[in-house]
Chains A and B, each alone.
Chain A
Amino acid sequence: MEPSEQKAVRGVGHSVRRVEDDRFIVGRGNYLDDVKLPRMLHMAIVRSPLAHATIESIDISEAMALEGVVAVVTGKDLEAHKLAWMPTLSGDTQAVLATDKVRFQGQEVAAVIAESPYVAADAAELVEIEYEPLDIFVDPYKALENTETIIRSDKEGQADNVAYEWEAGDKAKTDQLFAEADHVVKLHTHYPRSHPAPLETCGCVADVNGATGKATIYLTSQAPHAHRTLFALVAGLPEQNIRVISPDVGGGFGNKVPIYPGYVVATAASLLLDAPVKWVESRSENLMSTGFARDYHMDGELALTSDGTITAMRCHITSDHGAFFADAQPTKFRAGLVHICTGSYDMQAAHITAKGAYTNKAPGGVAYRCSFRVTEASYIIERLVQNAAYELGMSPVEIRRKNFIKKEQFPYTSCTGFIYDSGDYDASLDKALEMLGYDEIMAERDAARAEGRLMGVGIATFTEVVGAGNSKEYDIAGLKMFDSAELRVHPTGKAILKLGVQTQGQGHETTFAQIVANELGIPPEDIAVGHGDTDNTPYGLGTYASRSTPTGGAATAVIARKLRDKAKKIAAHLLEASEGDLEWDSNKFVVKGTDKSVSIQDCAFAAYTNPPDGEEPGLEGVHYYDPPNMTYPFGAYAVVVEVDPETGEWEVKRMVAVDDCGVRINPMVVDGQIHGGLTEGYAMASMQYIHYDDDGNCVGGNFIDYLIPTAVETPKFELGETVTPSPHHPIGAKGVGESATVGSPAAYVNAVLDALQPLGVKNLEMPVTSGRVWEAIQAAKAAAE
């Protein structure tokens, strides 16, 4: 391939500047709150101040009397239309507006619809609700033990607060290996409750047209097609009459995967009032009621031989789901894909059990920048491996190398049933250590220690599983997890690509055009990419779990190839040559051994003006891609920190991240994704979490308490790469949106623990606040005395 030719086409591997930026940099993005329709009304939700209480009465009269108020909706009103409850993505049910009782602070109880958002807010204050408090459970362990107070009293036959139980792996073999182990390493840790908190909150404008029956729902949605189907199922609207439009999305990170009560109420209100209804969450509503993530209490154990070989892993999870089990994850896997927790290591057996608890907290359990609990999985194994190194007196590098799945072992079948597609873990770790200057850094650390300074180096070598997934195993609410692409090449050689996935900042309008460019030779600037409008795009399950590139990207490559095959027939016709004599050369077909050629643009024109006899005219097609397997991105992260022993504050001195996401479509965009993920990983490790006091009050329900790092706290990242293509993906790409959030928290925490290791500190819980560090140092000092 000639570089100059390739440059013009600018397919895979080029840092093409993003076309979507053109509207964002001039303030002409079209986010949900920018949607304004004639006669549009505004909705405000009245929420429960209490975490668990029966609703005694609701008085809406004062609110209704306020000028500008159009309606006040309560659960009773919805009940009459069988809309008071809705299904969750995990097959549970969730209250839309509470009828019997409230189960968490911030739960939706009533909705006010008014002519302006200001009046809606005024009226919401006037809705009078009487509650009778009930016992509150914020601790999942206590909730699980309890059988007196049943949080989900609405569920027939529910006699406790257990949401589900689940297991994976081989118990007998694992038990046996543990019994035979020379050494067992244990860690109990909590991956705290967090929230994706995209900068744009969730919202919708529901526009049910009373004349046509057409429901157009503008939604901050990461999965517009799935949402259309769920709307059809929940609201009983005929699916052909529902159009979900996801406009520009101001970040998603998993928050915008589920359907939320506000959407259902707004749609019902629009239907009843025959006017468009807008609902946009405030930040506190966002943090307190929609889409939390994590909240996994984990007991992990590794069995090792005395030379540091890991033989088996055990992990028990107590997961806190809040009032409704609303995880957005594949049906078959109740605890997500947490059984990827054997990570990058070759071991003989593993056994994973999980028990989900209902508590008086917000529902959610979304995959926050993560492929269904892979973050939790990666965290526990990377923490355990570092502890194992300390306990066995090995270096954290040595123990990893010893146990890595070796390059030649791929495809590798893990003991919990995943088939890792490809990897080269040693290369990735080598690269990270080289970038870090590992030996010098360790010498520096030891010198610092000798001076009494607390410097630490932390490593995490993670493996992710993304791109759900093949339809045999993966579905959400019954919908198989394939994805799609429709490609139409116009007569002038320009094209439109339509996707089932949905961008929220990842740059699909550019990178997916590059995939087409790569396969079909049409430059990206000549390709318009459409997404987010269910009337105008093929069906797909949406963008989350790093699945866009593995599924939608693959569909795009395949359909482009199919059109190229057809173009070849046209080329043969135009060149009066046989197909067998033609060669594809980046953007044209050349008759082998000659300089005769036709460009893809010539073929496109001929497809409409001069198709070969017997050939269907046009150059268009759709492909639904059912991935044969998941993809397994991996990487090696290394962090250097220094801890202030007097205040417990810690500072990241270096952060080196080597990622292998297979083939990189647009390196600039990939680096941007990694920067973002490393920042969210840092946020989790250092400051960002939601917790509840004993009365069930949410602490972290606004940006005063839910801390998001600014540019000042955020470390400066040094990125590196290795490239191990996925063997089964059409262009060898693996997906990268989440690797850094998954892999980095353990690296940061391991670094702080390494700094404190000389003092004997064994564990720190996230977020590793300066107060926790200081307390740990004091406790270690006291223990040493």
Chain B
Amino acid sequence: MRRVAVIGVGVTQFGRHERTSAELFAEAAADALADAEMPAARVQALYYGNVVGGETEKQLHTGPQAASVLGIPTVPTTRFETACASSHAAFRHAVMEIASGASDVVLVGGAERVLNVPTADSTEYFAYASDASWEQTLGLTFPGVFALVARAHMHKYGTTEEQMAAVAVKNHKHGVLNPKAQFRKEITLDTVLKSPMVADPLKLYDCCPFTDGGAALVLVSEEVARRSRRPIWVLASAAASDWMLIGDKRDLSRVPATERAAAAAYRQAGIGPHDVDVVELHDCFTIAEIVATEGLGLFEPGAGGLAAEKGWTSLGGQIPVNPSGGLKAKGHPIGATGAAQICEVVTQLRGEAGPRQVEGARRGLTHTLGGNTATVLVSLFGRE
């Protein structure tokens, strides 16, 4: 298999936009191509993530639409849908297309538009990622899924609502340093703890926002990367799945797909969790970050809450998690999220993250979770 590198990244402002998801993707992709100093004509394929386009924009076939709006209508284009992990899944398949020798230059990205519909509707559309017969009928929501995880984690390990709130406080603090973030405002523990309950025990500030946005990156073979200014190498990209139904998951305090994807990624790269300097992980809810830091092996099972509370995952801590502000503060345009996380880690490894730079970061990890914890992707990146 050939080595693969990221040589260009682009991310739109996250927040509310009056443009279509295809336009948002196109802006990010053009920025990524410019960053890579790569002519669009050399792109051989587009791997694209978009989740609820059918619902919020009444738009299917979003892959070729995105390619057309970007101005590369003739490249082979495929849209991936693995709920919130869609563009990370797209990334993994693009890595394989290049590693296999099929292509040398591939564009990866995603975009989402959700703030054009009322919250009750977006809540319903996001719930489509849970089982239609068993779960949607009950009125299960996305926060509800992670509320079940939170309650199980609290029961098993004694994790507290204050520890979950500490994740939100930390990610908001990081978000202040990210000009692309949806929220650039520090909050206190009290802000979180006194915010309205959404799905007990998760409160409004335990939840990431609905977000419009796009992200893209240029992925190339080693031969092409050698001629670029500052390639960041893909050390591993792994995926894992788990039971779809909440009822079929044996232990709700864990996300086994995270553990399996992480184990596979560490094996591919020949490194372990303690070789990683910076992490962008899927904090769709505060409890999700806690469980992910455990599943990725950064902390022992049950210690994720303490790690957040003690500041071990803050910028300047032993392993900075979500220096971008994470989904919580940067925002979560679901189809774009995986690609945006990769863009952040690439920026960090280039040493170009400005005030949120993790000093001397050499290796980074991205973790993206799909919907009801049934999909997880983990990728590892390095300067060398």
Pair from one complex: no
Give residues in A with beta carbon < 8 Å to B.
none
